[in-house]
């Protein structure tokens, strides 16, 4: 699999893996825009083009727990034909000045880019689904252990 990456400036940090065996490429905050009082869009300064049959996801780095931020949209799906800059929305949960905390993340690794194989499917609308042991049991229906 080959991933093309465009850097949108000479100061932009190219995504890299900390170790050859790492699943994700670390994304560094290049710029930031405050969207609401507690949500910030961090610009990574990059655009990507995966090979046909692949797409990318943006997920938080495990070290995000050391900050007062969390990924605002859980997981970001980057469609394979999107060529815009990758933006990472982070929500500030701390009690300090949110803008100052966001500025402190510039130049830091804030998320990871993961390449995934795309599995196209066709959708079939049906009247009923086959039965299963679980059935329609939802949250917690498989027990507490």
Domains of the chain: 3-117 (2.70.40.10)
In this structure, the chain runs to a length of 145
**DSSP helix/strand/coil, 130:** coil
State yes or no: pLDDT of 97 exceeds 70.
yes
For the chain, give the mean pLDDT: 94
Kindly state the average pLDDT of the residues 113-132: 95
The predicted pLDDT at position 145 comes to 60
Write out pLDDT tens, residues 61-93. Answer: 999 999 999 999 988 999 999 999 999 999 999
Kindly state the average pLDDT of the residues 30-54: 97
The predicted pLDDT at position 54 comes to 97
Helix (H) / strand (E) element for 102: namely: helix 98-104
Q: What is the pTM of this model?
A: 0.87
């Amino acid at each position: 699999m080959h991933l093309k990456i465009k850097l949108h400036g000479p100061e932009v940090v190219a995504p890299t893996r900390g170790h050859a065996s790492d699943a994700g490429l670390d994304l560094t905050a290049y710029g930031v825009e405050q969207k609401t009082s507690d949500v910030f869009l961090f610009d990574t300064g990059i655009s990507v083009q995966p090979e046909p049959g692949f797409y990318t996801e943006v997920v938080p780095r495990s070290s995000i727990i050391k900050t007062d931020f969390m990924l605002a949209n859980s997981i970001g799906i980057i469609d394979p034909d999107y060529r815009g800059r990758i933006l990472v929305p982070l929500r500030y949960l701390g009690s300090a000045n949110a803008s100052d905390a966001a500025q402190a993340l510039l130049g830091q690794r804030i998320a990871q880019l993961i390449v995934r194989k795309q599995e196209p499917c066709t959708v079939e609308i049906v009247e009923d689904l086959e039965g299963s042991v679980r059935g329609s049991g939802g949250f917690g229906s498989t027990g507490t252990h």
